[in-house]
Amino acid sequence: MTPLASYLLVSGLLFSIGLAGALTRRNAILVLVGIELMLNAANLNFIAFWRYGPNPEALTGIMFAIFAIGVAAAEAAVGLALIISIYRHYKTTNLDQIDSMRG
């Protein structure tokens, strides 16, 4: 197996673990953790393709990863603020108990 294929395989496994966590866990915070893991798997793909791609000096993979990290940080901040706001309203972060749109 080439190095690129092994990095892609690790990244695919990480993505699937994140997906499983985001789909199965009940706690809203852990769903967010699963989404963070999926974003990180995508970042690993960018860097692996940049390193083993034909034009590494163009820096596109690095730039994409930098911007993805920035967007993921913004997403985490807003997501956690939403979870805290929901907790204040429903007194729970269990997603199965948050089942109505109006307070």
Partner 1 sequence: MTLPFFILSVLTIAGATAALTLRNLVHCVLALMLAFVGLAGLYLQLDAQFIGFAQILVYIGAVAILIVFAILLTRGAESPSQSIVSPSWPISSVVSVVVFGILAWTIRSSVATRHPIPPQPEVSVRQIGDALMSRFALPLEVIGLLLTAALVGAVTIAMQEKREIK
Q: Which residues within the stretch 21-60 sit at the binding site for partner 1 (CB under 8 A)?
A: 21, 23-27, 29-30, 32-34, 36-37, 40, 43-44, 47-48, 50-54, 56-57, 59
Calpha distance 44→55 (Å, rounded): 17
As measured in angstroms, the least distance from the Cβ of 102 to partner 1 is 15
Q: Are 41 and 92 in contact (CB under 8 A)?
A: no
Q: How far is the CB of 51 from partner 1 (least distance, A)?
A: 4
Q: Does 1 engage in binding with partner 1 (CB under 8 A)?
A: yes
What's the min distance (Å) between Cβ of 100 and partner 1? Answer: 17
Give the three-state DSSP class for 103.
coil
Using alpha carbons, select from 72, 45, 41 the residue that is nearest to residue 61: 45
The four Cα atoms 28, 32, 38, 42 give a dihedral, to 10 degrees, of 160
State yes or no: residue 2 binds partner 1 (CB under 8 A).
yes
Binding to partner 1, residues 67-86 (CB under 8 A): 67, 69-78, 80-85
